[in-house]
A and B are shown apart, each in its own frame.
Chain A
Amino acid sequence: MTAQPANVMARITFIQNDGVERVVEAEPGMTVMEAAVKNSIPGIAAECGGACACATCHVYVEEAWREPTGHPEQMEEDMLDFAFDVRPESRLSCQIKVTDALDGLVVRIPDKQF
């Protein structure tokens, strides 16, 4: 293996409801949900596999990251109706695409997806 350029992976921090933090490396192009599932992050069920059809990959995006991650599109906003305890910082993590700009992203995982 040759060393890869430092900007190839984005680090994402998942904070569980109990405060436990896990940092994972995600490849640009994948979604935050995929990064969570690939690293067995508890609390991201992602039942539908990323089709924006189940609302079981709900996360709260930390204040500083709300602009860089963008805002939910109509389909995601509609699907958030099926999530619990929805807040202004709520997103479905299958709809957040990882980019270099998201290196350092911090998201919180709700107590329960359902």
Chain B
Amino acid sequence: MSEDVIKTDAVIVGAGPVGLFAVFELGLVDIKAHVVDILDRPGGQCAELYPEKPIYDIPGLTVVSGQELTDRLMAQIKPFGAEFHFNQRVESLERLDHGFRLTTDGGTKLECKILVIAAGGGSFTPKRPPLPGIEHYEGTSVFYSVRKMENFKDRDVLIVGGGDSALDWTLNLQPVAKSLTLLHRRAEFRAAPASVQKMLDLVESGDISFKLGQVTELHGEGGKLTSVTVKGADRVTFEQPTEVMMPFFGLTMKLGPVADWGLDLQENLIPVDTAKFETSEPRIFAIGDINTYPGKLKLILSGFHEAALMAQAAHKYVYPDKKLIFQYTTSSSSLQKKLGVK
């Protein structure tokens, strides 16, 4: 199974608006794409940071939310049948004669002729609370996600936070854990009302406990957490015994493995030329917020433009013997056929 390699024309790293539109532009010139993203759904920052917030500078749309823009792009690229690999991050890049082999942290192997990096501000990773020594407990006592239920089975679990992730895992781990305590800085929760109600019911029935406060220190030895110091709402500190802590403070963006692929970088951005949006390495393109060039503006609409020019330049690598004739979707019957409207 692990030796199964997916072969495709293009791999797009990042399913944000620019990565999605790259599927469209590549599709118009007959380049098939696979898209890899660390999140569990398309949209990138639009989906993760501001799904409900309005965007006013998408040409032709007076106002659109991050989620609606994502939904519209997904509908627009549907005819091109791109395949998505969510919850995965591309870890390694291997050079082949006429392309690349990529391996994700989920074990997926992809071989492609061109690589399009549309990774925005980098991959989303959980925020790590700046508590001294927290790194010694990560993976043994401090977890940011649930990969194996055994890590929580019959253990005293402390969940920190008041958003959807904190609430969801409170509800999911309560039946598994020996004891579960939810700690939050205030008695209000920014989460689905149904989850909040279920959590409150569990507090009421004595199945979990809820405490107000913020963690200030960790205590334990050899990666084994025994307790944490909490500054309570009244500023009085107390010790909370626990074996496991799950902090949920949202996500932050880190460039991640892209930094190790041997590409030229300028302050964590990838320099490109403005005719092809190609990086320092042929066949590797960078579009959207992750690239830089004189005059660069980090706007979604700039990324769309970059995707269009990238696709024109990518054509020669995928079809070295074919001449690319520029066509308009308005008038070209062959483009309309690809779009499924003719």
Interface residues in B247-272 (C-beta closer than 8 Å to A)? 249-250, 252-253
Query: How many residues belonging to B are interface residues under a CB distance threshold of 8 Å?
Result: 24
Q: In the bound complex, do residue A54 and residue B121 qualify as a contact, i.e. CB atoms below 8 Å apart?
A: no
Q: Is B50's beta carbon under 8 Å from chain A?
A: yes
Within 8 Å CB of A84, what residues of B?
A: 129-130, 214, 249
Chain B interface (Cβ within 8 Å of chain A)?
A: 45, 49-50, 53, 121, 127-130, 161-163, 184-186, 188, 190, 214, 216, 249-250, 252-253, 298
Q: Is A3's beta carbon under 8 Å from chain B?
A: no
Q: In the bound complex, do residue B130 and residue A81 qualify as a contact, i.e. CB atoms below 8 Å apart?
A: no
Additional pairs, 7, CB under 8 Å, beyond known A47-B253, A53-B53, A80-B185: A48-B50, A49-B298, A55-B249, A78-B190, A81-B185, A85-B216, A112-B130
Q: Determine which of B214, B252, B298 lies in contact with A85 in the assembled complex, contact meaning CB atoms within 8 Å.
A: B214
Within 8 Å CB of A54, what residues of B?
A: 49, 250, 252
Q: Determine which of A81, A111, A114 lies in contact with B162 in the assembled complex, contact meaning CB atoms within 8 Å.
A: A81
Within 8 Å CB of A83, what residues of B?
A: 249
Q: In the bound complex, do residue B252 and residue A114 qualify as a contact, i.e. CB atoms below 8 Å apart?
A: yes
Q: How far is the CB of B90 from chain A (nearest CB, A)?
A: 21
**13 residue pairs from A and B, CB less than 8 Å apart:** A48-B45, A49-B298, A53-B53, A54-B252, A78-B188, A78-B190, A81-B161, A81-B162, A81-B185, A82-B250, A86-B214, A114-B127, A114-B252
Query: How many residues belonging to A are interface residues under a CB distance threshold of 8 Å?
Result: 20
Q: Is A56's beta carbon under 8 Å from chain B?
A: yes
Nearest residue in A to B128 (C-beta to C-beta)? A114
Given contacts A51-B50, A78-B190, A114-B129, whether A86 and B185 have CB atoms under 8 Å apart is yes
Within 8 Å CB of B127, what residues of A?
A: 82, 114
Within 8 Å CB of B186, what residues of A?
A: 81
Given contacts A48-B50, A85-B214, whether A114 and B130 have CB atoms under 8 Å apart is yes
